[in-house]
Amino acid sequence: MFNVEMYQGKKEKNYELVQKQLLALIEDETNQIANLSNAAALLNQFLDEINWVGFYLYEEGQLILGPFQGLPACVRIPMGKGVCGTSAATEKTLRIEDVHQFPGHIACDAASRSEIVIPLMKDGKLYGVLDIDSPVTDRFDEMDQQGLEKFAEILSNHL
């Protein structure tokens, strides 16, 4: 259904395309797990040089592993711990060039070098985070951040 060859244009246009694809996948579906699963699979297929993409969902004061693509991951992350817990606690996107320089980094996959975490907000409240890891240092730039924040916004509006 989705072919990587479609993502051959400029980065900004590629993000617009993947955002439209996300909307097509989720707009008529109400099951949150199905929507998060398809969103993770879509990003895994869309993004190059990544080794993990998925969601941690806010529940009972902590983040709990949700749908993802990649190696098995940490199941629970305390608020304020690691990149995901810090992003969730501050409700701000964190784009980390080198995770080994981030105080308190939680290494679920030793191959990860850079990371971007985007909070998912629903009705002004934290729903969870979108977490993407890369084995490449400084993988994510400002355009990635803007495109992924818009992706997360579209997804959040349908959760």
Q: Which pLDDT belongs to residue 85?
A: 97
Q: Cβ distance 86 to 131 under 8 Å?
A: no
Q: Which pLDDT belongs to residue 2?
A: 45
Q: Which pLDDT belongs to residue 8?
A: 64
Q: How far is CA 107 from CA 25, 64, 65, 119, 135, in A?
A: 31, 16, 14, 19, 12
Give the residues of the chain that fall short of pLDDT 50: 1-5
All domains in the chain, ordered by first residue? 7-156 (3.30.450.40)
User: Which residue is associated with the tokens 């964190």?
Assistant: 94
Q: How far apart are CA 119 and CA 130, in angstroms?
A: 6
Element containing residue 53 per DSSP (H, E)? strand 52-59
Q: Which pLDDT belongs to residue 3?
A: 45
